[in-house]
Chain A
Amino acid sequence: MKINVTKTWCKKMAGLEAFAEVGAGLLAIDPILNDGEPVSGKPEHFGDETRFALQRFVGLSRRSMNLSVEKLAERADIDLSELITLETDVHHLPEPRTLYQLAQVFNVSQSKLMELSGLTQPKDVHYLEEAVRYAARSESIAKLTAEEQAALDGLISVLSEK
């Protein structure tokens, strides 16, 4: 198929288009940016995505309590290096005891943290999806913003004992 467009037409329309981003189509499942390498394709089961939510939850909770990583490790009586790895490496499978201790400190359900971490299989994936969505709402590492607080509140409500 050929089309006939004049230079005038292209010029006028380009001017109207200006710097607008022109795109159309169904968005695929959002990949998580992991060390600069986007994860492509649809995850068959959760794993990295939910561990990312776990990471976010631990980081946000810690900051909302004004705790450094060292102080949290001390408060939760867990290995400092384990906590650092948990907060920074999305592939890392944490120790069950670590999650139990953190659940006590943050007052949420240990079994739900276990499911988020991928250590156990979830009975219901719906809340995992919710957790992932809340987690995706915050990205920066400074003090908690109002939005981050809201994201954290959402995570807490999803992860609390019912």
Chain B
Amino acid sequence: MSRDEGMEVSSVFLLDNQSGSMVDAELWDAITEKNLADWEADWIPQVFDMMKALKQKGVERSLWPQSRHWHWSDKVRAVEERLSNQCFSIVCDDVTQAMMITDLTRRAQLEGQKNNHLVYIDFLETAPWNRAGLIGQPSKYSGAGSILIRAAIELSKLEGFCGRIGLHSLPQSNDFYAKAGMIDLGVDVNYQNLRYFEMTPEQADEFVIKGES
């Protein structure tokens, strides 16, 4: 999808860790050719460099960035024609900082929410320079992940799902989702043993309120 095909842009802010100040960014409700170009030309080379450095330092492979082999082009192409998938991206400094693909056809697993519709996050990834590294490199911007979670919640409300969201967490992100107030439904043996998390409508509201207090 190209930028002008009805894509909507929201104004958001990221924390620039070096300066300590908030900088202007944009949330796009699409993943466009521009985002994929950034992924290919900016994200991937840095992921390769990080892997080489980790390998040289002898860091255990299970600790390497876990989404390193995701092929965003393939993923986006697979969902392009579908009404059931909604993509998002965050752009700052004219560079893609994070991307997300959601699925609107899944149901809640949580007892008490069972079979209610929710927004399921298929994939969520932040740019490699926004991840604080195992080799000690500082993260450039913080906050992109939270903004995308917020976007998923807002989408859920918009579609009548009351803010419910669900996702399978990358192992290194388990703590983040737990702290965000999501419920850990445990390891999913049908999904490469990733932990499955869900947010109830109440927790979604709390997530939104949390940032304003």
A85 near B: Cβ within 8 Å?
Answer: no
* B51 lies within 8 A of A17 (CB): no
Q: Which of A3, A15, A16, A25 contacts B150 (CB 8 A)?
A: A3
* Residue-wise interface mask of B (28-61) relative to A, using a CB-CB cutoff of 8 A (1 in contact, 0 not): 0100000000000000000010011001001111
* B210 lies within 8 A of A12 (CB): yes
Q: Which of B8, B51, B70, B172 contacts A33 (CB 8 A)?
A: B51
Q: Which of B51, B126, B131 contacts A38 (CB 8 A)?
A: B51
B129 near A: Cβ within 8 Å?
Answer: no
B124 near A: Cβ within 8 Å?
Answer: yes
Interface residues contributed by chain A, number (CB under 8 Å): 39
* A22 lies within 8 A of B173 (CB): yes
* A14 lies within 8 A of B15 (CB): yes
Secondary structure dominating the interface of B: mixed
Set of chain A residues within 8 Å of B71, measured between Cβ atoms? 28, 40
B93 near A: Cβ within 8 Å?
Answer: no
Set of chain B residues within 8 Å of A139, measured between Cβ atoms? 55, 58-61
Set of chain B residues within 8 Å of A9, measured between Cβ atoms? 150, 208, 211-212
Set of chain A residues within 8 Å of B125, measured between Cβ atoms? 23, 25
Tell me the residues in window 180-210 of chain B with beta carbons closer than 8 Å to chain A beta carbons.
Answer: 191-192, 194, 208, 210
A65 near B: Cβ within 8 Å?
Answer: no
Q: Which of B69, B144, B213 contacts A31 (CB 8 A)?
A: B69
Q: In the assembly, what is the distance between CA of A38 and CA of B208, in Å?
A: 39
Tell me the residues in window 155-197 of chain B with beta carbons closer than 8 Å to chain A beta carbons.
Answer: 155, 158, 167-170, 172-173, 175-176, 179, 191-192, 194
* A20 lies within 8 A of B175 (CB): yes
Q: In the assembly, what is the distance between CA of A22 and CA of B71, in Å?
A: 18
Q: In the assembly, what is the distance between CA of A136 and CA of B63, in Å?
A: 12
* A28 lies within 8 A of B69 (CB): yes
Q: In the assembly, what is the distance between CA of A90 and CA of B121, in Å?
A: 37
Set of chain A residues within 8 Å of B146, measured between Cβ atoms? 10, 13-14, 16-17, 22
Q: In the assembly, what is the distance between CA of A118 and CA of B194, in Å?
A: 31
* B212 lies within 8 A of A17 (CB): no
With A5-B10, A24-B167, A36-B48 known to touch, is A14 a contact of B192 (CB < 8 Å)? no
Set of chain A residues within 8 Å of B118, measured between Cβ atoms? none
With A23-B170, A25-B67, A26-B168 known to touch, is A11 a contact of B121 (CB < 8 Å)? no
With A6-B212, A23-B67, A139-B55 known to touch, is A17 a contact of B154 (CB < 8 Å)? no
Q: Return B166 CB to nearest CB of chain A, in Å.
A: 10
| Complex: chain B residue closest to A29, CB-CB | B69
* A7 lies within 8 A of B22 (CB): yes
- Which residues on A are within 8 Å of B, measured CB to CB? 1-31, 33, 36-38, 40, 136, 139-140
In the complex, 5 of the A-B residue pairs with CB atoms within 8 angstroms, ordered by the A residue number, are: A1-B158, A3-B10, A9-B150, A14-B146, A26-B191
Other CB < 8 Å A-B pairs besides A10-B13, A13-B210, A15-B142, 16 of them?
A1-B8, A1-B158, A2-B9, A2-B29, A3-B10, A4-B10, A5-B10, A5-B211, A14-B14, A19-B139, A20-B176, A21-B170, A23-B126, A23-B170, A23-B173, A38-B51
- Which residues on B are within 8 Å of A, measured CB to CB? 8-10, 12-15, 22, 27, 29, 48, 51-52, 55, 58-61, 65-71, 86, 98, 121-126, 131-132, 139, 142-151, 154-155, 158, 167-170, 172-173, 175-176, 179, 191-192, 194, 208, 210-213
